[in-house]
Amino acid sequence: MQATRIVAVRHGETAWNVDTRIQGHLDIPLNDTGLWQAERLARALVGEPIAAIYTSDLQRARATAQAVARATGAPLSTEPGLRERSFGCFQGRTFAQIETERPEDARRWRRREPDYAPEGGESLAALRARITRITHALAQQHLGEQVLLVAHGGVLDTLYRLATGQEIQTPRTWQLSNAAINRLLWTPDGLTLVGWADTRHLDEADEAARDEPHS
């Protein structure tokens, strides 16, 4: 049975990540650390056979993917299906604000109720269905090859759950680090986990590398 190798990456850091402010579909750019992370990610993937790069259309993911495309020469396509979960009325707020302003919504969110959606947003069940569908569609086009998917924390969380058989409501015990390298294998039977949360390309860099200009 032919398979598709997938490298899945969460975008580099943004100022709102630092502030624990919920981004969702809001189009927030990378901060300086995020730009640095994108360049380090690109260097780490140079030399790997990447047949195609697919990125969320939000600029924090797109800028991360563009750094890899420049370094590797792999073709880059924008795929709105890889967007973060829409958090509706939660977008732009911090976790602390939601707890204070909408305690009942916060409780349902913490419980990871599969069909609960913030007002104007997307449920976890809908997110899972979307990511399952788009991953299947993209992987089918690249049997025997490796592709890079650049997306968001909620997307990466969903991919991990799909690959390990974790239910939507299972508490998360795995990392969703910015610009970490995560590896999956896709076959028509589904996803399996190969490696997760590899940040060696970020940890091994010396501080001087942060001062290098961003291309």
Over the chain (215 residues), what is each successive 10-residue block's mean pLDDT? 94 97 98 98 97 98 98 98 97 96 95 97 98 98 98 98 97 97 97 98 62 38
Q: What is the pLDDT at residue 165?
A: 97
Given the structure tokens 């974790």, which residue do they identify? 166
Question: Domain residue spans in the chain?
Answer: 4-211
Place of tokens 């997938």: 6
User: Which of the following is catalytic: 11, 25, 142, 152?
Assistant: 11
Domain 4-211 has CATH 3.40.50.1240: yes
Does 11 qualify as catalytic in the annotation?
yes
Q: How far apart are the first and last CA of the chain?
A: 41
The confidence score (pLDDT) of residue 185 equals: 98
Model pLDDT, residue 32: 98
pLDDT for the residue numbered 215: 31
* Set 13, 79, 84, 122: catalytic member: 84
The answer to whether the CB of 121 falls within 8 A of the CB of 25 is no
In the annotation, is 99 catalytic?
A: no
Helix (H, G, I), strand (E, B) or coil at 94: strand
Classified as helix, coil or strand, 113 is coil
Task: Indicate the pTM of the whole model.
Answer: 0.93
Q: Residues near 7 by Cβ (< 8 Å), separated by ≥ 6?
A: 45, 48, 50, 146, 147, 148, 149, 181, 182, 183
DSSP codes joined into one string, 115-176: T---TTS--HHHHHHHHHHHHHHHHHTTTTSEEEEEE-HHHHHHHHHHHHT--TTSPP-S--
Can you give the pLDDT at residue 170? Answer: 97
**pLDDT value of position 204:** 60
What is the pLDDT, as a whole number, of residue 210? 44
Q: Map residue 114 onto helix, strand or coil.
A: coil
